[in-house]
Structure 1
């Protein structure tokens, strides 16, 4: 009986020790896992900062003019290329989508009529040509779903023509450094039905906004007979903003310099929304400018105001940029 009790006691002690050892092993494994994950996270962060453009040698090849090369024979752009003099494009630096700015070209690639599209043909053509002109491949692979979720809302052209940068795309990213054309970024992706190509010639942003002055307005009225102005109003209202009032002040100064000058103030909108409402809004804004000029001491007999809504567009209302150009105030020289 005593022997049995001793055996049971020893069994319980061994079981307790085993359980304790298992808990220690589990804790140790969990600790090692955390350390390992932290190491991966640290390595990923380090990798995203490893890229150094200065490590890529300059190419001495003559690469021609932007976008610098044609598509392989038998292939063409599926639609009208997306081209911008200045924009942003994201490229995978060590799997981290990183923005670069400059002159941008993006297309979908497809086959010419009577030809067949081949993924291997497109990719092999690209790789051989880029290598021949001294470009360096700095990334090939996919980004993670987490990386896509992190960056995609920052890209103003996401989902547009030739867009690249989804988590299920195998992307190839090359950098070409030149002394004459600066740094050129090229990325492409393909399946066996079509491809996508992005080319960006890196360039610094140049500010082109300048203050509208009385001299500018007077010069336009004298030489062209009209001055086109983009005057800021409160959203969907005819109330001038502080910046809008500053422009009206400059109009006043131009009229005060030439006492004989008479002008017609025309309000214009794009074609968005209701036609009748746009015409009323443009008329109210033209009258708002006139009333502010009168308040600045300009005789009412020298002024007329009328709104035309979207009846007289400067350019076709086929893009947001063009619509912005059509939302304007014109000063027309009457006398």
Structure 2
């Protein structure tokens, strides 16, 4: 009888122990259902046959692997799955990466949504603020772009414990920029973006300061060098523009924008043949001839432009009508220049 009672107690204990273990397992945080509002790509059922990730970090690691293999849809899926865990702690960085993927794929609405969600976890996320600035600027939304570039720089100042934040675009001076602290992690693309917007507004002097700060942060930025050179060109500092643009071309000899800018600089310096040779490095001879003619024309040198348009047409009689139209415009301007002004009759 005693033996039967012991056996019964052992069975009850085993059942209780089993129930206890199941209870412990069920108390672990279960992932929420996958939220597809930030996903765009192949059907998720076709992406992977693996067992679902058990933790946020496992999902992120899978996403990193997929991203490294350029499997962007799978990377998106895994990153978004990592957000479904109730104990997730890396949402800000994950959403930033999701935004970058959407931006690279040209899906600006989802990129914007991801960056905005990232800011919900960290309002001073410099990278997401900078990406939003670039995103809006690319779409021609310059006021919004400028706002987010400023926010990125201010967030960086918070990181660097500087209480003096930028308040408005109109109040920024060369001295203001000079006094802003920075390090290698500062958002150089935000400074560069504000430089571009300043150049568009014909504020070339402040634009140069923005580009110079971008280069102080990232001396290897070819784009910042090209922009700085072009800003000097716009200000009429042609020899300095030439030196800076040549520095950019030493880094990237085939950079189309740098080559075009250098050709413009040579036209401004009066060396049209050298400009033609540079244009010919990334376009056909008729196109290069037309380009030299066009830029001479807009500089008010219609008489010098005419031979280049004529050569462009001679090189390729079927050349697109732009060269012929430019030739007619140049000839018209030359004729107008030869017309003597009409004297008005004084009463």
Shorter-chain TM-score bucket reads: under 0.3
Max Rg structure: 1
TM-score (norm 1): 0.26
Higher RCO (C-alpha 8 Å, min separation 6): 1
Which of the two has greater helix per residue?
Answer: 2
Which of the two has greater strand per residue?
Answer: 1
